[in-house]
Amino acid sequence: MTASKGIKLYGAKAVAAMFKEYKQLDDLKVLGRLNPELLQHDQKRKALRAVKLIKLKRCGKMKGRTCAFFFVPWEEASPPTLSLEALM
């Protein structure tokens, strides 16, 4: 579920799970900080968008997930094809 829905349903428990995920990303130096005023317009357009998700596991533990969406130009996107050698 989305972060806003998770916060409405589970409150502080969902917020704690999100903070734990952000702390893990910060500790592993996955995310960096940039001044948006120094970026050009095309750099801002190509920035990754992240979505925060909340999951309630069967054991009752709340997990936070961060998913990033990549910008792939239409010209570079192609479906994988199977070669005849790989099929045989």
Count Cβ atoms below 10 Å from residue 64 Cβ, excluding itself: 22
- Residue ranges of the domains in the chain? 3-73
pLDDT at 84 over 80: no
pLDDT tens per residue, range 25-59:
888 888 777 888 998 988 888 777 788 888 889 99
- pLDDT (mean) for 59-81: 78
Residues 6+ apart with CB under 8 A from 63: 17, 21, 54, 55, 56, 57
Residues 6+ apart with CB under 8 A from 47: 39
pTM: 0.62
pLDDT at 17 over 80: yes
The pLDDT, as a whole number, for residue 30 is: 81
- pLDDT (mean) for 11-30: 89
